[in-house]
């Protein structure tokens, strides 16, 4: 039997010892989007919640992992519990200061669009570079040498179609996410958003960045401070560069 509820947004949030950040995000969602959403909260490590999940005007489903799992695996598991026809991947270090969903859903009404994202701002209000071309060997070399541009796309008032959008906030059509099999669980952390957008594009879906919607990102840049995160970053980068998906998108772009 079909579980999908029209116009319901299923929001997947994964906390890895970030319950305090998640609490602030839950308060933001209560203030900006009290109806039309459900939240699936995954606790990736054992931690106490500083709030009552039943105290919100929207449904909260909680998953407690017996052992930590990767970004892709956690969100795929949340998708299995999701009832909405839109699926939102949302980091706990995001602050929602105004309802971004109205403009994003409007873009997703087009069945050719598979995933959308709002403009990502840092705490000073500057635009983060969360929408980029697909990485190539040459672009990664330029990045390593500090020669990459500050921003790859001009940001104006209209929506644009970048190659990929960052996984800190992605809103997807349920059917599009299911059609490509969700995230690739072989990516433990990092590049799962690049890979997902590449497979969506290969399946014929567009990816959109919607500047009329914005959120604030309290970025922690763990890969610059923690060797484990740096190694995960390097492993995921290598996996993508060696993948058939990367070769297919580059071949398609060369046509």
> Residue 181 has what pLDDT?
98
Q: Please state which of the ranges 68-77, 124-133, 198-207 shows the lowest mean pLDDT.
A: 124-133
> Residue 132 has what pLDDT?
93
Domain covering 5-254 assigned CATH 3.90.550.10 in the classification: yes
Q: What is the mean pLDDT of the chain?
A: 92
Domain boundaries, given as residue ranges, for the chain: 5-254
In which element (H, E) is residue 25 found? helix 19-32
pLDDT (tens digit, 9 = 90+) per residue, 100-137? 999 999 999 999 999 999 999 999 999 998 999 999 88
Under 8 Å between Cβ of 237 and 191: yes
Burial, 220: exposed, middle or buried (Cβ in 10 Å; 0-12, 13-18, 19+)? middle
Q: 3-class SS at 231?
A: helix
> Residue 116 has what pLDDT?
98
In which element (H, E) is residue 196 found? helix 192-202
Q: 3-class SS at 59?
A: strand
Whether the pLDDT of residue 221 is over 60: the answer is no
| Length of the chain (residues) | 255
> Residue 220 has what pLDDT?
67
> Residue 223 has what pLDDT?
46
- Considering the entire predicted model, what is its pTM? 0.93
**Cβ partners under 8 Å of residue 247, min gap 6:** none
């Amino acid at each position: 039997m079909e579980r999908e509820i029209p116009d319901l947004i299923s929001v997947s949030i994964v906390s890895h010892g970030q319950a305090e950040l998640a609490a602030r995000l839950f308060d933001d969602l209560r203030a900006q989007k009290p109806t039309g959403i459900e939240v699936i909260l995954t606790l990736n490590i054992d931690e106490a919640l500083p709030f009552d999940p039943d105290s919100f005007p929207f449904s909260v489903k909680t998953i407690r992992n017996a052992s930590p799992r990767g970004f892709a695996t956690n969100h795929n598991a949340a998708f299995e519990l999701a009832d909405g026809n839109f699926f939102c991947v949302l980091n706990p270090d995001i602050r929602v200061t105004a309802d971004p969903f109205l403009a994003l859903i409007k873009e997703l009404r087009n069945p050719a669009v598979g995933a959308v994202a709002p403009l990502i701002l840092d705490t000073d209000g500057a635009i983060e570079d969360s929408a980029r071309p697909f990485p190539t060997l040459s672009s990664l070399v330029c990045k390593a040498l500090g020669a990459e541009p500050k921003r790859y796309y001009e940001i104006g008032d209209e929506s644009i179609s970048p190659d990929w959008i960052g996984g800190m906030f992605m809103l997807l059509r349920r059917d599009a996410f299911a059609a490509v099999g969700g995230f690739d669980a072989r990516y433990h952390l990092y590049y799962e958003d690049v890979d997902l957008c590449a497979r969506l594009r290969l399946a014929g879906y567009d990816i959109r960045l919607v500047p009329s919607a914005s959120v604030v990102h309290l970025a922690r840049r763990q890969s610059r401070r923690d060797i484990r995160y740096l190694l995960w970053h390097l492993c995921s980068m290598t996996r993508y560069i060696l993948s058939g998906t990367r070769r297919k998108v580059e071949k398609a772009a060369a046509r």
